[in-house]
Copies of this chain bind each other. A is one copy, B any other.
């Protein structure tokens, strides 16, 4: 509730009556400022939003009145009249995953620099109904919307277009390149990791994969590994690919599962860092020396994980930059300027101490696939 009125301020009271005793109201309105400054409300409005159109002297008077009364504009009234709210919405699966937190943080900073505030909603991987969220944010009157890993892209977009709300997709894949989307090349990310291990001389792999069902990004990552291996004429038996869900413990379990197969690969590629860290921990618990006995690599930079386990070879995803670009894109669209090109961000391999060439000991002990 933005303002609390005294009883006498109810609908029956005439506006002119209020005008006389602003002391009875909770806070100042534009007409209070106008009266104190001795100008019209239009001038006050202009002084607030287009100061260049107001004479220097008048401006000073108005500003003084604003200061004296502690006037703060009523955003909803302003939005209703001007048809712009200076708010931007963002929908993310969760804010608890540091990769999304980073994007949101960057986005928030970017739009705030232009006077926009950010409305954040989490769809919790659709448990709450993504389309409902989009509609809610439209109802809130956001000037633009950022969608992250949208699960119902087509519906969300048609809704946004019907309401003429500018939008941009993040963490998204757009094969045709027609949609405003910024994302990562997940295929390339996991391919980078794989090539790195191939170049070190590894020929004997296992993959700890995430579930790929309905997740294009995860599919791309898995394909990136498999196709790169195929490029080197290496076929991976299906049993060497373990599917896991997202957790440290799952990474441990998957590692055990691989070792239980009775065949030790020289390198393990994990399709995300949480799994990789779990696998590494399990390897060490089981007496493996990393990377002497086995190399472990991840495919997705978890900022926090990287600071905690700074030895993991992985791929850096510039999620901060993505947030910035998404913000700038929307701001341009809203401001009627031509937006920057949307694009596929390139990821970058970060080689750390968890990978090395297979040791002689490994080579002699193992038969290749």
Shortest distance from the beta carbon of A3 to any chain B beta carbon, whole Å: 6
Shortest distance from the beta carbon of A160 to any chain B beta carbon, whole Å: 11
Inter-chain contact A141/B95, CB cutoff 8 Å? no
Shortest distance from the beta carbon of A284 to any chain B beta carbon, whole Å: 11
- Set of chain B residues within 8 Å of A26, measured between Cβ atoms: 162-164
Inter-chain contact B136/A83, CB cutoff 8 Å? no
**Interface residue A223 (Cβ < 8 Å from any Cβ of B):** no
Of A38-46, A51-59, A114-122, A235-243, the stretch lying at the interface with chain B is: A114-122
Which of A76, A77, A248 has most chain B Cβ within 10 Å? Answer: A76
- Set of chain B residues within 8 Å of A139, measured between Cβ atoms: 72-75
**Interface residue A2 (Cβ < 8 Å from any Cβ of B):** yes
- CA of A119 to CA of B75 in the docked complex: distance in angstroms? 14
**Interface residue A108 (Cβ < 8 Å from any Cβ of B):** yes
Shortest distance from the beta carbon of A42 to any chain B beta carbon, whole Å: 14
Which of B3, B117, B120, B163 is close to A2, meaning CB atoms less than 8 Å apart?
B163
With A76-B85, A101-B95 in contact, is A143–B1 under 8 Å at CB?
A: yes
- Set of chain B residues within 8 Å of A340, measured between Cβ atoms: none
Inter-chain contact B162/A308, CB cutoff 8 Å? no
Inter-chain contact A94/B83, CB cutoff 8 Å? no
Shortest distance from the beta carbon of A254 to any chain B beta carbon, whole Å: 15
- Set of chain B residues within 8 Å of A117, measured between Cβ atoms: 119, 121, 136-137, 140
**Interface residue A80 (Cβ < 8 Å from any Cβ of B):** yes
- CA of A3 to CA of B85 in the docked complex: distance in angstroms? 11
Inter-chain contact B84/A1, CB cutoff 8 Å? yes
Shortest distance from the beta carbon of A365 to any chain B beta carbon, whole Å: 27
Shortest distance from the beta carbon of A298 to any chain B beta carbon, whole Å: 12
Which of B1, B122, B307 is close to A83, meaning CB atoms less than 8 Å apart?
B1
With A96-B101, A136-B117, A164-B3 in contact, is A80–B83 under 8 Å at CB?
A: no
Which of A4, A72, A109 has most chain B Cβ within 10 Å? Answer: A72
**Interface residue A70 (Cβ < 8 Å from any Cβ of B):** yes
Q: Would you list 28 pairs from A and B whose C-beta atoms are within 8 A, ordered by A residue?
A: A1-B84, A1-B164, A1-B165, A1-B334, A2-B79, A2-B85, A2-B138, A3-B83, A3-B163, A26-B163, A26-B164, A70-B162, A75-B76, A75-B139, A76-B76, A76-B77, A77-B80, A80-B80, A87-B140, A94-B105, A98-B98, A98-B101, A104-B120, A112-B128, A117-B119, A118-B121, A277-B308, A309-B309
